[in-house]
Structure 1
Amino acid sequence: MSDNQNPVTQHPRPDFPQQDQPHPGHTEEMRPEPDHGESSYRGSGRLEGCRTIVTGGDSGIGRAVALAFAREGADVLFTYLEEEEKDARETVRLVEDAGRRAVAVSCDIREEGECRALVDRAVQEFGRIDVLVNNAAFQMAQPESIEGITTEQFDRTMRTNLYGMFWLSKMALPHIPEGGSIINTTSVQAYKASPHLLDYATTKGAIVTFTQGLAQYLADRGIRVNAVAPGPVWTPLIPATMPDTEKFGKQAPLGRPAQPAEMAPAFVYLASQDASFITAEILNATGGTPLP
C-alpha cells in the first residue's frame, strides 16, 4: 500500500487556538506542536559523511533540516539565540539520536565577528563545510506596514536576513570543497509581498537575487547555490510575530500551513548528489500558491 496521504488533511488545519509568545517563541508552547519529522523522516544515506552548518537550527524549519540531515548521515553544527537554548538542546538530542555529531552554537548572525567565529568553530570541529544552510531569519508583522516599521526593526531584519547570509557565505567559501553547496531560505513573500511584512519580504526578494548571482559566480568551482521558498510554515516565529494565529495558513490553496517536516526534504535534495545539475534555482514549496 502507498504511504501517500491527502496533503489537504495530512496535517492540522486552521482554525488554531489564538496564541501569543514573546519573540523568538518556543516550540513546546505551540498548539498544535510543530512536526519536525521526529516520527516520520527516514534517511537513506544521501548525505553520508557531510559536514554541515544550519543557522536557526533550534526550531522550525532549521530543526527539521538538522534532523533530516543527520538521518541522511551528516554531522550538523547549528546556531541558536541565547533565549532558544531549551529548543537547541532538543535539536542536539535529535541529531545525536540519529548517530551523528551535533554542535550547538549560540550566535547572533547580525554581528560580523560572531559569524567569523561560527565558521572558525565549524572548521575546528569538522575540518571542512560541505553544506551551508542560511536559514535564520527575523520578522515582525506591522499592520501599518511602512508607517509602523521603525528604523530599529528595519535594521534588525536586514542584518539578520541579509548581512548574516552574506558574511557566512563569504567566510565559509574557503572551506567549501568542490561538490559542496550553499542553500538559502527565501519565501513566498519574495514574490507576493504582504504589506504587514514589508521589510521581511524585501529581504526575501534580495535572497533570491543573491542566490542566483552567487550561483553563477561559483559554478566553475563546482559549488552549487540554491534556495527554498516556503509558503506559510507552522513555526515558533508565527505566535511570536503575527497578530492572528487562528487562521494562519488558511489562505494557501491546500488550506493549511506546512509543517517544518514538509520543508526538510527540499533541503536534503538540494544538498545531495541527486541535485548535481541544479544551481541558481529557487525550489518553491508554497502549498499551491503559483510563483514565477
Structure 2
Amino acid sequence: MLNKVALITGSSTGLGKRTALELARLGIDVVINYRTNQEKALQLARELERDYPVRAMAVQADVSVPEDCRALVGQVIEEFGSLDILINNAGPYIAERKRMADYELDEWSAMINGNLTSVFYLSKLVIPFMREKGWGRILNFGFDRADTAPAWVFRSAFAAAKVGLVSLTRTMALEEAEHGITVNMVCPGDITHEWKEASIEDVRTLTDPTTPVGRAGTGEDIARTIAFFCEEASDFITGTVIAVTGGKDVLTKYKFDLESSKEVW
C-alpha cells in the first residue's frame, strides 16, 4: 500500500522541518517546500529518505503567489500521484514592533497574503484531490487565543491574518466534512528559535520559570500535535483550534511602554 503524502510549506527549517521528521517517522511521504533555502531543503529530503521508509522531495515555491502554488501542487501530483495532507506552516512575520498606522501597504499585503490568502490558494488546489479519495487532512497555524480575536499590540497585520484564518479553518471544516477531509488549527506557544527543531528530551533538564509547565516548548511538541490530527482515527476531530503553549500567556508576556513601543518588564 502506498504511503500517504504530506505537503509542508516552509519546511526546510524550524517547526516545518521538525514536523517533516515526525511525519516521516510515521511512514508518510513528505514534500519539503521552501522559498529561498534550497540547500537545507534538499539536505532534509535526503535525510528523510535515508532514515525512514519514505519518499521525500524538495520544491521551491512562494505560497503567497498563485502561480507558484499551482506549480507546486502540480509537481507533487506528478511525482507522487496523490496529496493527502496539507500543512500550512509558512507565514511571514515582521519582528519589528509597529503600530497599525505605521505599516506600509506592502508590509500589510505581505502579512495577509502570506498567512491567510496562501491557505486559500493551496486548499483550493488540493481539496479536489482529497475529495476524490474521500480522505484528507489540512492543518493551519495560528497563535495563542487566535480563536477569541484578541488584541495583539504591535502585531496587527499578523494577528488579523491569523484570526481570519481561524474562521476559514472552521468554515472549510464544515464544508469538507462530508468528503472525509478534516481541517484544524494548531497554535504554538512561545517557542524560541533555538528550540524550534528540538526534541522534548532536549529540554527535560532545563527549567523555564516563565512557562507554567516549567519547561520550554519545542518543535516536537508541535509536530506531535500535528501528527495526531493526521491519524486515521482522528477523523472525528475537525474545526478545532488547539493551543500548545505550556499554559503560557503569549500575548501578554510583556508589559508595553506604548510611548516608546519598547518591551519593559
- Shorter chain as denominator, the TM-score bin is 0.7 to 0.9
Using the TM superposition, give the Cα deviation of residue 189 of structure 1 relative to its aligned residue in structure 2, in angstroms.
6.0
Cα offset, 1:255, TM superposition: 5.7
Asked if residue 127 in structure 1 is aligned to residue 81 in structure 2, the reply is yes
Partner of 1:267: 226
8 Å Cα contact 1:189/1:201 also seen in 2: no
The 5 Å alignment of 1:11-160 reads 49-82=3-36, 84-96=37-49, 97-160=51-114
Cα contact 1:56–1:80 (8 A) shared by 2: yes
User: Does residue 1:187 correspond to 2:148, yes or no?
Assistant: no
After TM superposition, the structure 1 stretch with the greater mean CA deviation from structure 2, 192-201 or 50-59, is: 192-201
Contact 2:184/2:238 (<8 A) preserved? yes
Of residues 189-198 and 270-279 in structure 1, the stretch that sits farther from structure 2 once superposed is: 189-198
Counterpart in 1 of 2:242? 283
Name the % identity: 30
Q: Which residue of 2 aligns with 1:204?
A: 162
Q: Report the alpha carbon displacement of residue 257 of structure 1 after superposing the two structures with TM.
A: 4.3
**Residue in structure 2 matched with residue 12 of structure 1 by the alignment:** none
* 1:95 aligned partner, one-letter code: L
TM-score normalised according to structure 1 size? 0.74
Higher relative contact order, chain-length normalized (CA < 8 Å, sep 6+): 1
Alignment root-mean-square deviation, CA: 2.4
Task: Spell out, residue by residue over 1:27-60, the C-alpha distance to the aligned partner (whole angstroms, 9 max, x if none).
Answer: xxxxxxxxxxxxxxxxxxxx98111111011111
> What is the deviation of 1:149?
1.8
2:192 is aligned to 234
**Alpha-carbon distance in structure 2 between the residues aligned to 1:272 and 1:138:** 28
Q: In the alignment, is the contact (CA less than 8 A) between 2:3 and 2:54 conserved in 1?
A: no
Q: Give the total of aligned pairs.
A: 234
- Could you tell me how far apart the structure 2 residues matched to 1:108 and 1:214 are? 23
- Give the CA deviation at 1:211: 0.6
Q: Which has the higher strand share?
A: 2
Is 1:162 matched up with 2:116?
yes
Counterparts of 2:13 and 2:74, CA distance in 1: 23
Counterpart mapping for 1:170-185 below 5 A: 170-176=124-130, 177-185=133-141
The answer to whether the 8 A contact 1:231-1:258 is kept is: yes
- Aligned amino acid, residue 141 of structure 2: T
| AA of the residue aligned to 2:44 | T
Q: 1:258 to 1:57 in 2, by over 3 A?
A: same
Structure 1: runs of 5+ lacking an equivalent? 1-46, 239-248
Q: Distance in 2 between matches of 1:255 and 1:152?
A: 40
| 1:262 partner amino acid | D
TM-score by length of 2: 0.81
